[in-house]
Amino acid sequence: MALPATAALAEAPLRSPRPVPRGGRPPAEARRPAAVAAERIVAEAGLGGQVTFAVADARTGELLEASGETQPMPPASVTKAITALYAAETLGTGHRFRTRLIATGPVRAGRVEGDLVLAGSGDPTLATDDLAAMAMRLKDAGVRAVAGRFRVHDGALPYIRAIDPAQPAHVGYNPSISGLNLNFNRVHFEWRRAGGSWQVAMDARSERFRPAVTVARIRVAERQLPVYTYDDREGVDDWTVAAPALGDGGSRWLPVRRPAEYAGEVFQVLARSYGIDLAHPAPAAGPPQGQALVEHLSADLTTVLTDMLKYSTNLTAEVVGLTASAARGGPVATLGASAARMGAWLSARTGVTGARFLDHSGLGGESRISAADMVTALVRSGAVDSLRPMLKRIEMTDAKGQTLRNHPARVAAKTGTLNFVSGLAGFVEGPSQRVLAFAIFAADLDRRSRLAPEDLERPEGGQGWTRRARAMQQKLIERWVALHAG
């Protein structure tokens, strides 16, 4: 039962085309008996909890198949697809983040007669190598000394201590957020055995540089558990790590809770290597006024969002969401307030009213959206043209997880994974060149709620559950291509 395009878009994806048309022509599933029934695919996955899905024609919004589609589900990082649409439409795909070195007084004979301020606009992609390039350009501009203080300004965005306070303290994907970010607000912790003890180091490494930092420190403790502890001590991120967890050597990224000071200290070290002696960074009292001596621009927003969707970087999602919210309605103080503003935009833009977001990354497990609403958002926002090129290509695989070369299904989608939560939403194009918009959400919330804090990073059975969920997603996509896009 194909609907006229205007009617389909007005109500998509709330109507199903499943009734047999006049003339007795059987539905597509009956004409293609090789397609495995959706109920069987879901049952064989053995996930428990709830599995919901919806698939529609991406151009007309005609709903082709659905199950539990109106049930609100945790989207996890699928949220980032909505965030990308929100940021691109609000800020424009050519938007770039600026990081500046501002002199509050004139420069005379190589000396800044005032303060030098490292001022950010929230750039989530700023890296140590970028700060090194800024330091070199400052030297090339003839600056050799600063009469006043070296300051950092992070007021372009609110300071948020952690994206999701419920996450373990040590996971690098849950950093702080501010208007001045560096290395995704993570510090590199490296260790190696030296005799009967360990040598440890904390640095802000990038491709070319790895300056040591003092804003974060770590000590090895003789205990079994917990593996990591964190304390805010003496103005420093103070970590300890359990000795039995270290082995002979290794490394990992730890989150930074003082991002502006972290960026400032790294710039101070790099500037010194270029012969510019700066004091330890101090916070700026407000937006700096003066001459911008050096400016670093991020890549354009399309590139930033494409990388965010590919690597699922939580910090990038939160920064672009907060920046879009500020541009739309003025500054916001919390992620929740900004996410609510994104939800209001989604409602006005697509008519979706049932979604509830707590952040822009999906890291918080209490966000909710139904499969039907997710597909509606993809269809009515025009995401098939705007978002689809930015989404990651999802390779189709066989039962052993091996990539199937030259598979006829071309999938561009956003994955979402939390403990016992798995989502996938986006677009698939089959041999007929018909493009389908789909959303699949699976969650065993009872099992998730029973996890102890020490099990949150690697819960027992979690990896196997996620593998089965992803295999189920692939089989559902195979079914939909066979029935509707073959």
pLDDT at position 34 is 54
pLDDT > 80? residue 26: no
Which one, of 478, 305, 473, 472, lies nearest residue 383 by Cα? 305
What residue spans define the domains of the chain?
A: 5-92+301-484, 98-297
DSSP one-letter code for 313: -
- The residue among 367 and 402 whose pLDDT is bigger is 367
- The mean pLDDT value of the chain amounts to 92
Name, in order, each residue with C-beta under 8 angstroms of 112's C-beta and a sequence gap of 6 or more.
103, 104, 105, 106, 143, 145, 146, 147, 148
pLDDT digits (tens, 9 = 90+) for 36-76: 899 999 999 999 999 999 999 999 999 999 999 999 999 99
pLDDT digits (tens, 9 = 90+) for 240-286: 999 999 999 999 999 999 999 999 999 999 999 999 999 999 999 99
Name, in order, each residue with C-beta under 8 angstroms of 73's C-beta and a sequence gap of 6 or more.
50, 52, 368, 369, 370, 371, 423, 441, 442, 443
CATH number belonging to domain 5-92+301-484: 3.40.710.10
pLDDT > 60? residue 18: no
Name, in order, each residue with C-beta under 8 angstroms of 10's C-beta and a sequence gap of 6 or more.
none
pLDDT digits (tens, 9 = 90+) for 183-213: 999 999 999 998 888 999 999 999 999 999 9
What are 194's strand-pairing partners? 197
Separation between Cα atoms, residue 11 and residue 15, nearest integer Å: 7
What are 219's strand-pairing partners? 240
CATH number belonging to domain 98-297: 3.50.80.20
Separation between Cα atoms, residue 319 and residue 232, nearest integer Å: 24
pLDDT digits (tens, 9 = 90+) for 147-156: 999 999 999 9
Phi and psi at 323, nearest 5°, equal -65, -40
* Residue 427: count of CB within 10 angstroms of its CB: 20
Structure-token pair, residue 177 = 């957020």
pLDDT at position 400 is 78
DSSP one-letter code for 161: S
